[in-house]
Amino acid sequence: MRSWKRGPGFCSTASSPRRYWAGLLGHFLLMAAPKFSRLRRRVMRLDLAWDRPARRYVQLYKKLIPS
């Protein structure tokens, strides 16, 4: 499981169904922790809109396509 201090969420590297479900239960328990509300606020502030990446792709394509 990834640390909630660095990333925007959790990831799982479970190698069996039992470990997967144990990890999932652990994540649910973490959701009750006060630190989880800080994680949720941090993730909600992330800019996940496509506007900026779309403009970058257009600029890249314009450079690659000869005029």
Give the pLDDT confidence score for residue 10 in this predicted structure.
66
Q: Tell me the two tokens of residue 16.
A: 């069996």
**CB-CB contact of 20 with 12 (8 Å):** yes
Among 13-17, 45-49, 51-55, whose mean pLDDT is lowest?
A: 13-17
Q: Does 37 map to a domain? A: yes
Q: Is the pLDDT of residue 63 over 70?
A: yes
Q: Does 6 map to a domain? A: no
Q: Does 5 map to a domain? A: no
Query: Judging by beta carbons within 10 Å of its beta carbon (0-12, 13-18, 19+), is residue 42 exposed, middle or buried?
Result: middle
Q: Is the pLDDT of residue 4 over 80?
A: no
**CB-CB contact of 20 with 26 (8 Å):** no
Separation CA 51–CA 56 (nearest Å): 9
Q: How many CB atoms lie within 10 A of CB 36?
A: 14
- pTM flag (> 0.85): no
Number of domains in the chain: 1
Question: How do residues 32-51 score in pLDDT, each as one tens digit?
Answer: 888 888 888 888 898 889 99
Q: Which residue has the tokens 């396509």?
A: 65
Q: Which range marks the domain in which residue 30 is found?
A: 17-64
> With bands split at pLDDT 50, 70 and 90, how would you rate the model's confidence at 8?
low
